[in-house]
Amino acid sequence: MNKFVYMFDEGNGSQKELLGGKGANLAEMTRIGLPVPFGFTISTNACNAYYDAGKTLPTEIEQQVLESLTKLEEKTGKTLGNPANPLLVSVRSGAVHSMPGMMDTVLNLGMNDETVVGMAKLTNNERFAYDSYRRFIQMFSDVVLKVDSFYFEQYLEEVREEKGYSSDPEMNAGDWKEVIKGYKEIVKKHADRTFPEDPKEQLFLSIRAVFDSWNNQRAIVYRKLHKIPGHLGTAVNIQSMVFGNMGNDSGTGVAFTRNPSTGENKLYGEYLINAQGEDVVAGIRTPQPIVTLQNEMPEVYEQFSRTCNLLEKHYQDMQDIEFTVESGKLFILQTRTGKRTAQAAITIAVELVNENIITKEEALLRVDPDQLNQLLHRRIDDSYTRTPLAKGLPASPGAAIGKVVFDADDAEKFAKEEQKVILVRPETTPDDIHGIVAAEATVTSRGGMTSHAAVVARGMGKACICGCESLKIDLAGKQFRVGDTVVNEGDIITIDGSTGEIFIGEIPMIEPELSEEFQILLAWADEVRKLGVRANADNPTDAKKAVEFGAGGIGLCRTEHMFMDATRIPIVQEMILAETYEDREIALSKLLPMQQEDFEGIFEAMQGHPVTIRLLDPPLHEFLPDKDELLVEVTKLQITDPDSDELQEKEQLLRKVRQLHEFNPMLGHRGCRLGMSYPEIYVMQAKAIFYAIAKVKEKGMTVKPEIMIPLVGHVNELKQMRQLVINAGERVKEETGVEFDYLIGTMIEVPRAALTADQIAEEADFFSFGTNDLTQTTFGYSRDDAEGKFLQSYIEHKVLPENPFASLDQQGVGKLVKAGVQLGRATKPNLKTGICGEHGGEKSSIQFCHDVGLDYVSCSPYRVPLARLAAAQATIKSEQKQLVN
Ligand code: PEP
Ligand code: MG
């Protein structure tokens, strides 16, 4: 005789083909000793036998179902159809592959005019019993008898209206009894038969309905779509129902095996006595914390906490468990891996290793690098009850407090007076950059997650909220409004860039720190990863932060940021305005000691780790005032003060601005092209670096400088700039008498550099892929224009899968990176290669960098921990892939 029906304690988790996914899972939970409401599974073979027999249930199967039912009745002490102690069951389909929505579930099967009376007595709740009964009639009729739910809904609506009720909770037991009568009439009319009162008939009809559903239109379409073969068939699970509302020794709840917000290894959850699952969710009664269950039902609590341990060991992770207690007896209804905060994810992963439940590698894979952002920025104290004024998009994480300003210049002005400000704008443009730099955070009422403000703020590790449309900003009146609330310039607000929330006033904050567990996890990541992780940092403060977060060096120091300082801008302008070489030299000689001091500070902070310094990159006009604004000022002065020196100065400035004006600055006079035109600028920078090296070395410290030439497109550019730097080095060595080593390399930022990397490598000690510019030049997009104008819509309409400035376009830009590495190494097998575009701090791009064999990634200091973890995950995943192949 073939076996078609399996009790839950006869199978296990590996029998998906036979028992279906759900059946195998229920069997597994039963097998490991969990108190799962008992039941049985009718196998997928039975489904095929049903079809083979021309859609009739072979007697052999019927027989086995009845035998299993008897076993279920014995085990539960309840009997199907017995009014004194009725067994009620659920009937659910369960295919090998999960096919959600293929067939609705039938709950409370076994209810009829007699058992409902028994239920009412047992639960001491007549209303509940009759409500459950009418639900059962509706569900059963819909799923099994094919009477559309619409008829029942419509009828119920009529009854409610007639009684003057507006919602179901107003219905009493008597009302439900009346509805049940009406429902049965509906069944008679639309199903051409009476509602089956015999529970066994209910059961067999339901089993057939599940088997039939395997070939309904929905299921066939679903299978085609997901390439699920039709011969697999579906299983049917019959499980006893349990009730948490059978009295004060019953209840229901939800619990996590560990605290999902802190990770603490302590049960966390809540429950309600004498209640059903729905009551917990509905929030009508306030549930009690799980610890009080220890006093209320000590034995149940004891069993529950033992079960939790068992579950964690079995599934090797923190579990989120639904349970019910029926008359003092514990049942586990469901268990799944629990969702958790970043802090909890780290703590749990580390502790599971210490408890010998998982390996270090598994622990490293358990934490999502993206989640770490939560922990690396200041954040609002968890104990604060939030009442936000408005909510926008969480564009850049972190929390900030400051006075509201509406203009980038004002932000700068306030910040100079040591006041903390938050810049609020409809949107930002590159002209607002100084305001974003000066402000603690930026808020915009327009724009998305990839808008200018969002991208810039993320790069700087500053909090930002975008697209907060409820903010009605009045720039002229220097105020914004949310409903009736008006916030004026100078008013204090707090923002949370991780949630997008804005609050009035000052809210308590928590400073970021790497917890002990976080440090442990990152140390494991360092043991595993092959990729180096460096930081992009332009000043000693950022450099220190980078070291603190575990960076192994600086991968990009953008020297132009050192020029932006308010005290230096006038000297930089003097240099740009110089009409003669001599005048330019004078200005440069003023800048040199300033740059030297910066480099000394950075070298000292980096404690002997390599530091990659990039020579000047942006076009010079970026250091001059805006042309239109200048024109307005000049015109005004021409009218009001035509003979003034100020007018003369401004006119000279305007001439220079016009002279330097470019049609496409992104593709214009910038990068090494500046060094080619004004070698004295690069010489000054090289000397400042070398003097700093000499000074720091004299203090007995180690320095590993790497000088980087930007935007090289032809090897000859690099050749000339390299010689320039070497000559400067030789002069400083002679002058100071100090010997030092350094590397000279280049950024690969334009396609031609990647495609001729074999030639470029002749002149380079290292390559650093500048994927911000390489993305711009490969796509032919100017980032500021693209993100402000069409990129968002491209992403929304799936023209592009993702923002290529955030996540590396592996198929296009990535191909150039790969070619660059291969060609470069064909010339110099040990050529050092890294990436310093924003992609160096994004997990999928980091995986790519690992796969193409880069030596390191470099990203903002705040993303260094994320990159360390992502790099470790990349190694583990690659090794796993190799094992499979
Ligand atoms: C780059 O282009 O990727 C890069 C790092 O340089 P920047 O962003 O300064 O242009
Ligand atoms: Mg660049």
pLDDT for 176-209, tens place per residue?
A: 999 999 999 999 999 999 999 999 999 999 999 9
Q: Is 434 a catalytic residue?
A: no
Q: Do 618 and 560 form a contact (C-beta atoms < 8 A)?
A: yes
The atom of ligand 1 lying closest to the CA of 769 is 3
Nearest residue by C-alpha to atom 1 in ligand 1: 770
Query: Percentage of the chain surpassing pLDDT 90?
Result: 74
Residue 51 pLDDT exceeds 80: yes
pLDDT digits (tens, 9 = 90+) for 59-90: 999 999 999 999 999 999 999 999 999 999 99
- Give per-residue pLDDT as tens, 213-264: 998 888 888 888 888 888 899 999 999 999 888 878 999 988 999 998 889 9
Judged against a pLDDT cut of 80, whether residue 460 lies above it is answered with no
Looking at the CA of residue 772, tell me the nearest atom of ligand 1: 3
How many angstroms separate the alpha carbon of residue 773 from the centre of ligand 1?
6
Position 450 scores a pLDDT of: 60
- Which pLDDT does position 278 carry in this prediction? 62
The gap between the terminal CA atoms of the chain, to the nearest Å, is: 42
Tell whether the model's pLDDT for residue 287 goes beyond 70: yes
State how far the alpha carbon of 733 is from the alpha carbons of 272, 594, 679, in Å. Answer: 79, 20, 20
Question: Residue 176: enclosing H or E segment and its boundaries?
Answer: helix 173-191
Contacts of residue 751, Cβ cutoff 8 Å, sequence gap at least 6? 774, 777, 778, 816
For the chain, state the CA radius of gyration: 35
SS3 call for 844: helix
The catalytic residue among 308, 836, 849, 859 is: 836
| Residues in contact with ligand 1 (CB, 6 Å cut-off) | 556, 558, 617, 749, 770-773, 836-837
The CATH T-level fold of domain 516-623+675-884 is: TIM Barrel (3.20.20)
Does the structural domain 5-240 have CATH classification 3.30.1490.20?
A: yes
What pLDDT does 269 receive? 87
Q: How is 713-760 classified by DSSP, letter by letter?
A: -SHHHHHHHHHHHHHHHHHHHHHH------EEEEEE-SHHHHHTHHHH
pLDDT at 870: 98
Residues 6+ apart with CB under 8 A from 523: none
* Closest ligand to Cα 808: 1
High-pLDDT (> 70) share of the chain, %: 98
Question: Which two tokens mark 174?
Answer: 């008597």
Domain boundaries defined on the chain: 5-240, 251-337, 378-510, 516-623+675-884
Per residue, the 3-state secondary structure of 530-598, as one string, reads CCEEEEECCCHHHHHHHHHCCCCCEEEEECHHHHCCCCCHHHHHHHHHCCCHHHHHHHHHHHHHHHHHH
Give, using CA atoms, the residue closest to atom 6 of ligand 1.
770
263, 344 contact by CB (below 8 A): yes
CA distance 870 to 868: 6
Calpha distance 68→877 (Å, rounded) = 45
The model's pLDDT over 789-831, given as tens digits with 9 standing for 90+, comes to 899 889 888 899 999 999 999 999 999 999 999 999 999 999 9
Nearest ligand by distance to the CA of 775: 1
Please check whether the two domains, 251-337 and 516-623+675-884, share a CATH topology: no
Return the pLDDT at 364: 98
Instruction: Tell me the per-residue pLDDT of 739-794, one tens digit each, with 9 for 90 and over.
Output: 999 999 999 999 999 999 999 999 999 999 999 999 999 999 998 888 878 998 89
Q: Catalytic annotation on 452?
A: yes
- 680-693 b/e (C-beta count within 10 Å ≥ 16 → b): bbbbbbbbbbbbbb
Ligand 1 centroid to Cα of residue 710, in Å, is 9
Q: How many residues does the chain have?
A: 885
CATH topology of domain 378-510: Glucose Oxidase; domain 1 (3.50.30)
Does 14 score more than 80 pLDDT? yes
CA distances from 318 to 12, 281, 347, 374, 542 (A): 21, 22, 11, 20, 37
CA–centroid distance, 619 to ligand 1, in Å, is 13
Residue 103 gets the label, from left (phi > 0), alpha (psi -120 to 50) or beta, of beta
Asked if residue 612 has pLDDT above 60, the reply is: yes
Most confident of the ranges 335-344, 482-491, 508-517, 619-628: 482-491
Q: Whose CA is nearest to atom 10 of ligand 1?
A: 773
Ligand 2 is an ion; residues with CB less than 5 A from it? 749, 770, 773
DSSP string, 413-480: HHHHTT--EEEEES---GGGHHHHHHSSEEEESS--TTSHHHHHHHHHT-EEEE--TT-EEETTTTEE
SS3 510: strand
Domain range 251-337, its CATH number among 3.20.20.70, 3.30.470.20, 3.20.20.210, 3.40.50.2300: 3.30.470.20
Q: Which atom of ligand 1 is nearest to the CA of 558?
A: 9
558 near 539, Cβ under 8 Å?
no
**pLDDT at position 847 over 80:** yes
Q: d(Cα 74, Cα 657) in Å, to the nearest integer?
A: 92
- Compute the average pLDDT of residues 705-725: 98
Ligand (nearest to CA of 839)? 1
Q: What is the whole-number distance in angstroms between the Cα of residue 558 and the centre of ligand 2?
A: 10
pLDDT of residue 376: 83
Distance CA 659, CA 110 (A): 89
Kindly report the backbone phi and psi dihedral angles of residue 253, in degrees, each rounded to the nearest multiple of 5, phi listed first: -165, 180
Asked whether the predicted pLDDT for residue 618 surpasses 90, the reply is yes
pLDDT of residue 452: 77
**Where residue 315 falls among pLDDT bands split at 50, 70, 90?**
very high
| Ligand 1 atom with the shortest distance to the CA of 773 | 2
Residue 308 has pLDDT above 60, yes or no: yes
For residue 437, give both structure tokens. 């730099």
pLDDT at 282 over 60: no
Angle, CA 331 vertex, CA 245 and CA 131 arms, to 5° = 30
C-alpha closest to that of 409 among 496, 493, 475:
475
Confidence tier at 279 by pLDDT (50, 70, 90): low
Buried (b) or exposed (e) across 454-465, using 16+ Cβ within 10 A?
Answer: bbbbbbbbbbbb
**Model confidence pLDDT, tens digit, residues 337-369:** 888 888 899 999 999 999 999 999 999 999 999
For residue 169, what pLDDT band results from cuts at 50, 70 and 90? confident
Report the side by side order of strands in the sheet with 485-488.
Answer: 472-474, 479-482, 485-488
| Closest residue by Cα to residue 568 from 585, 537, 584, 592 | 592
Residue 789's pLDDT is 86
**What pLDDT score does 281 carry?**
53
Higher per-residue pLDDT: 336 or 851: 851
> Which tops the pLDDT comparison, 452 or 468?
468
Q: What is the DSSP track for 101-148? A: TSS--EEEET--TTHHHHHHHHHT-HHHHHHHHHHHHHHHHHHTS---
Residue 284's pLDDT is what?
Answer: 56
Whether 856 shows a pLDDT value over 90: the answer reads: yes
Centre of ligand 1 from the C-alpha of residue 770, in Å: 5
- Tell me phi and psi for residue 566, to 5 degrees: -55, -35
Mutate to test the pocket of ligand 1, among 613, 836, 842 (most ligand atoms within 8 A of CB): 836
CA dist., res. 260 & res. 371, Å (int): 14
Distance 757 CA to ligand 2 centre (A): 17
Report the nearest-CA residue for atom 8 of ligand 1: 772
pLDDT value, residue 274: 83
The residues with which 93 forms a beta bridge, in sequence order, are 236
> Separation of 768 CA from ligand 2 center, angstroms?
10
- pLDDT at position 277, please? 66
| Residue from 291, 311, 310 nearest 301 by CA | 291
| CB 10, CB 31: distance < 8 Å | no
Given a contact cutoff of 8 angstroms between Cβ atoms, the answer to whether 835 and 849 are in contact is yes
| Ligand sitting nearest the alpha carbon of 616 | 1
**Nearest CA, atom 9, ligand 1:** 558
Protein residue with least CA distance to atom 3, ligand 1? 770
The C-alpha atoms of residue 867 and residue 863 are separated, in whole angstroms, by: 6
**pLDDT surpasses 70 at 318:** yes
Which of 656, 667, 591, 664 lies closest to 621 in space, CA to CA? 656
